[in-house]
């Protein structure tokens, strides 16, 4: 049976092509994550049991493709068969939501001398950035195939000169090393002794210049001890997993309870320092908490607006530590293995979707 691949559906959604996405999974699976804008019908069990009328109650457009979605791309084929019999232009998504893990979209925004392209892994919510000034670009926290960043830069006539990570990631495999190699760019990582491959360390206060812009490193330990934010031209702050729009980075991964408490105290001081920057600073975080729509709207917020919410958590260090440690979410799946790979710099062969499965759990909100 004819199927469509993730790249085709991704492109249709990004281009605004007429398409209906029909999610046939159980409500429990849908609650984990979903494709923004998709219609949901709880038909998985009925389709699997071979019920011929599992989708009979649903009105669907006849003038556009209807892409059926399940977990791994099997039951969605049964759904498409039933719909094809009704004359609907149904086609299943190959690999289902598992393959959708690598789907992405973009949103662009100008920042003074620089142009920022936010590259979003829509399912996992990982946010990476291409920042360009006068045709020279820096890429922050790449979480997708290096070819994606190379193509996006190339389309715009930009050369990638620098690749930076904000910290050693625990929820996705860093593509920084591979991208820097492919682009012939300098790989900057926060100064630390965790990573065991060559990189250029960047310390608090150091700047990286490109075009007419510069990025200044601001050490922000807490989520991890090497966590660093990058301050673009004194107007935009790329916060990695330290500060989100409505939460802060979890300080407990790879830490004993005592270490987690100490890291939370360190995070408190880092956040106080960051919230002292001008209120009109635009914050670009490292994650979104929900699947990201194909709406071309950047996920960012003024520091002043974030402060009105998060600032109220920071009245006292003691209360902050107690409140954060009380709200730590479950650990992200496979994080031990992902950290190991990010420290060794190896990229495993083949399919990474199992390794990176599941939503981000880097935030306390």
CB closer to Fe ion, 70 vs 126:
126
CB closer to Fe ion, 68 vs 227:
227
CB closer to Fe ion, 38 vs 331:
331
Interface segment toward Fe ion; rule CB under 5 A; list 42-50, 235-243, 294-302, 324-332? 235-243
Tell the smallest beta-carbon distance from residue 169 to Fe ion (Å).
5
Residue ranges of the alpha helices (H) in 184-256? none
Q: What is the DSSP letter of 314?
A: G
Tell the smallest beta-carbon distance from residue 307 to Fe ion (Å).
22
The span from the CA of 149 to the CA of 104, in Å, is: 11
356 contributes a contact to Fe ion by CB under 5 A: no
Interface segment toward Fe ion; rule CB under 5 A; list 40-48, 155-163, 239-247, 257-265? 239-247
CB closer to Fe ion, 10 vs 175:
175
Sequence-distant contacts of 155-161: CB under 8 A, at least 24 apart: 156/115, 156/117, 156/132, 158/130, 158/132, 159/135, 159/183, 160/130, 160/185, 161/136, 161/137, 161/185, 161/186, 161/210
Tell the smallest beta-carbon distance from residue 40 to Fe ion (Å).
30
CB closer to Fe ion, 241 vs 301:
241
CB closer to Fe ion, 76 vs 360:
360
DSSP, residue by residue, 111-136: ETTEEEEEEEETTT-BEEEEEEETTE
Tell the smallest beta-carbon distance from residue 262 to Fe ion (Å).
18
The span from the CA of 145 to the CA of 174, in Å, is: 10
Interface segment toward Fe ion; rule CB under 5 A; list 84-92, 120-128, 237-245, 272-280? 237-245
- Number of residues in contact with Fe ion under rule CB under 5 A: 2
Ranges assigned E (strand) in the chain: 20-23, 39-40, 65-69, 89-92, 104-111, 114-121, 127-133, 136-140, 159-164, 186-190, 200-202, 207-210, 213-219, 228-232, 236-240, 248-249, 282-285, 301-302, 363-364
Interface segment toward Fe ion; rule CB under 5 A; list 111-119, 236-244, 330-338, 341-349? 236-244
Cα separations in angstroms, 294 against 12, 121, 350: 10, 11, 27
DSSP, residue by residue, 50-95: T-TTTTTT----SSSEEEEE-SSSSHHHHHHHHHHHTT-EEEEBTT
Tell the smallest beta-carbon distance from residue 166 to Fe ion (Å).
8
Question: Can you state the percent helix, strand and coil of the chain, rounding each to 5?
Answer: 30, 25, 45
When CB distances to Fe ion are compared, the closest residue is: 241
Tell the smallest beta-carbon distance from residue 250 to Fe ion (Å).
8
Interface segment toward Fe ion; rule CB under 5 A; list 47-55, 152-160, 184-192, 355-363? 355-363
CB closer to Fe ion, 136 vs 241:
241
CB closer to Fe ion, 88 vs 253:
253
Tell the smallest beta-carbon distance from residue 30 to Fe ion (Å).
26
141 contributes a contact to Fe ion by CB under 5 A: no
362 contributes a contact to Fe ion by CB under 5 A: yes
CB closer to Fe ion, 226 vs 241:
241
Contact present, 194 and 163 (Cβ < 8 Å): no
Interface segment toward Fe ion; rule CB under 5 A; list 40-48, 149-157, 211-219, 241-249? 241-249
Specify the pairing of strand 89-92 against strand 301-302.
unpaired
Which 3 state secondary structure label does DSSP give 33? Answer: coil
Q: Give the residue, chosen from 23, 226, 241, 356, that forms a contact with Fe ion under the rule CB under 5 A.
A: 241
Q: Which residues of this protein are in contact with Fe ion, per CB under 5 A? A: 241, 362
């Amino acid at each position: 049976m004819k199927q469509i691949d993730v790249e085709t559906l991704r492109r249709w959604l990004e281009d605004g092509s007429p398409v209906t996405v029909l999610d046939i999974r159980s409500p429990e699976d849908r609650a984990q994550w979903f494709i923004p804008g998709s219609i949901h019908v709880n038909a998985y069990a009925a389709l699997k049991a071979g019920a011929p009328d599992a989708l009979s109650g649903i009105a669907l457009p006849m003038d556009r493709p209807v892409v059926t979605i399940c977990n791994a791309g099997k039951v969605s084929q049964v759904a498409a068969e039933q719909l094809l019999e009704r004359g609907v232009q149904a086609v299943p998504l190959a690999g289902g939501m598992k393959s959708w893990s690598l789907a992405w979209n973009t949103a662009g925004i100008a920042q003074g001398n620089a142009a920022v392209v936010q590259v979003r892994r829509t399912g996992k919510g990982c946010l990476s950035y291409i920042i360009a000034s006068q045709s020279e670009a820096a890429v922050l926290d790449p979480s997708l195939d290096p070819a994606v960043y190379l193509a996006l830069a190339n389309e715009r006539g930009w050369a990638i000169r620098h690749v930076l990570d904000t910290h050693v990631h625990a929820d996705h495999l860093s593509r920084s090393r591979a991208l820097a190699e492919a682009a012939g760019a300098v790989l900057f990582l926060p100064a630390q002794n965790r990573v065991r491959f060559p990189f250029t360390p960047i310390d608090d206060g150091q700047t990286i210049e490109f075009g007419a812009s510069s990025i200044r490193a601001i050490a922000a330990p807490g989520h991890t001890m090497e966590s660093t934010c990058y301050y673009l031209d004194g107007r935009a702050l790329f916060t990695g997993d330290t500060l989100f729009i409505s939460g802060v980075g979890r300080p407990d991964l790879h830490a004993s309870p005592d270490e987690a408490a100490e890291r939370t105290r360190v995070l408190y001081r880092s956040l106080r320092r960051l919230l002292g920057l001008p209120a009109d600073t635009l914050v670009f975080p490292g994650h979104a908490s929900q699947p990201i729509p194909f709406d071309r709207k950047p996920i960012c917020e003024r520091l002043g607006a974030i402060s009105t919410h998060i600032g109220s958590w920071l009245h006292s260090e003691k209360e902050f530590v107690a409140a954060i440690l009380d709200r730590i979410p479950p650990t992200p799946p496979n994080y031990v293995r992902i950290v190991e790979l990010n420290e060794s710099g190896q990229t495993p062969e083949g399919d990474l979707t199992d390794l990176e499965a599941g939503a981000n759990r880097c935030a306390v909100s």
